[in-house]
Amino acid sequence: MKFAIGYQQPENGESFTAIVNDYRPHIAEVFFPWVGAASCRSALGKARGALDWQAQNVLEEDLHAIRASGVKLDLLFNANCYGARAVSVSLENEVMSIVSHLHDLELAPDIVTTTSPFIARTLKKYCPDIEVRASVNMRIGTTSAMEYLADLFDSFYIQRDIQRDIPAVLAVKKWCDANGKGLYMLANSGCLRYCPSQTFHDNMVAHDDDIDEMKNVEGWTPHLCWRMFGKQRQYEEFLRETWVRPEDIELYDDIFPVVKLATRQHSHPRMVIGAYVKRSFNGNLLNLLEPGHAAAFLPYIIDNQRFPPDWREIATACAANCRHCGRCTEVLKQVLVKQPTEPI
């Protein structure tokens, strides 16, 4: 098993390519957005109308170094909403101009990951040599869904909500193998399992620029997870999420050749990659995830070393329709640790 990691331009000054080089034997792919383009995270090199004029130069230099190291490049067009441009000539031209520019730089992507069937169709039409992959945000978790999209996508990120259900994963894997499709997973998502607000949240992210310029209603947190872990203190729901601890990633060794690590917005990507490469982490599990909710849990942490020996069995047997059997309650008592507060 190798990893696909999310590109960023770290604010601490560390070169992203240095991280890639240090873990090169374990890195198969680097996924990245184009500068200023909408995606499932905040736009690279753009914030509230301000542009980082060096961001594109840095990105292109980094991509050259990553390509030279033998790591595949995965270009993202994975915004949840493209608005009125969703099936437009304008969007088609934008996609193809970016791909053409990268091709001219000898940086043509090996893979394009998208949430858009229209963008998938565009790439299939004009760039048949590029692998087109369905984003995890499409929530594709059945063979029926894959059959419907088989003409547009070469590979799929499995719906993260089902990935702890190993028999369900194996059934999807069997179909993919039989039909020549690739299958991948995201290991360190901090999102709620079957989050009913995911579409709402992802649409907000796709329209960040517009939302930032609006006078928005104050006093309400639009993100369900932050409400649940903040004022509501529903910490057990964290245990029912979709993440897989570094210690348990071996469960998927024979299923997924490449596992995605969400690091594009993470404050410490080296720590995340190192933990999964070593298959061990001594610290606050919340700090490995993206999104991370460590601030919402304060003064508590989730001590990753305190999980019980049978956690794998508990996690993989967890029902999608929670019966509130009490197992998570007991695990939470072990792993939720209050940190001492320092006097002001």
Other beta carbons within 10 Å of 37: 18
Other beta carbons within 10 Å of 101: 14
Q: Give 24's Cβ-side CA count (13 Å radius).
A: 11
Average pLDDT over residues 32-43: 74
Strand partners, 338: 300
Q: Are strands 2-6 and 72-77 parallel, antiparallel or unpaired?
A: unpaired
Domain limits at 73?
Answer: 2-215+241-282
Average pLDDT over residues 11-33: 94
Q: Is the pLDDT of residue 35 over 60?
A: yes
**Residue range 295-343, pLDDT digits in tens:** 999 999 999 999 999 999 999 988 678 888 899 999 999 999 999 865 5
| Residues contacting residue 42 through CB under 8 Å, at least 6 positions apart | 205, 208, 265
Strand partners, 73: 30
Residue 221 lies in a domain: no
Task: Decide: residue 194, CB within 10 A, 0-12 exposed, 13-18 middle, 19+ buried.
Answer: middle
**Residue 321 has what pLDDT?**
80
Q: Is the pLDDT of residue 36 over 90?
A: no
Q: Compute the chain's Rg from CA coordinates.
A: 20
CA 288 to CA 285: how far, in whole Å?
6
Residue 165 lies in a domain: yes
The H or E element spanning position 214 is: none
**Residue 324 has what pLDDT?**
85
Average pLDDT over residues 90-114: 98
Residue 334 lies in a domain: no
**Long-range pairs, 52-55, Cβ under 8 A, ≥24:** 55/9
CA 36 to CA 44: how far, in whole Å?
5
Q: Is the pLDDT of residue 186 over 80?
A: yes
Residue 152 lies in a domain: yes
- Split at pLDDT 50, 70, 90, the class of 124 is very high
> Residue 180 carries which DSSP code?
T
Q: Is the pLDDT of residue 94 over 80?
A: yes
Residue 54 lies in a domain: yes
- On average, the pLDDT of the chain sits at 93
**Residue 54 has what pLDDT?**
85
Other beta carbons within 10 Å of 88: 13
189 phi and psi, to 5 degrees?
Answer: -70, 140
List the structure tokens of 44.
């690279």
Quick one: CA dihedral 175, 176, 180, 181, positive or negative? positive
The CATH code of the domain that includes 140 is 3.20.20.70
- Structural domain count of the chain: 1
pTM of this structure = 0.93
| Residues contacting residue 292 through CB under 8 Å, at least 6 positions apart | 190, 266, 286
List the structure tokens of 177.
């193998």
Q: Is the pLDDT of residue 24 over 50?
A: yes
Q: Is the pLDDT of residue 85 over 70?
A: yes
Q: Is the pLDDT of residue 344 over 50?
A: no
327 phi and psi, to 5 degrees?
Answer: -65, -45
List the structure tokens of 221.
């947190």
Q: Looking at per-residue confidence, does 232 or 306 come out higher?
A: 306
Average pLDDT over residues 12-21: 91
Residue 235 lies in a domain: no
Residue 112 lies in a domain: yes
**Residue 41 has what pLDDT?**
56
**Residue range 145-165, pLDDT digits in tens:** 999 999 999 999 999 999 999
Average pLDDT over residues 270-280: 98
Residue 329 lies in a domain: no
Contact 260, 31 (CB under 8 A): yes
CA 16 to CA 7: how far, in whole Å?
7
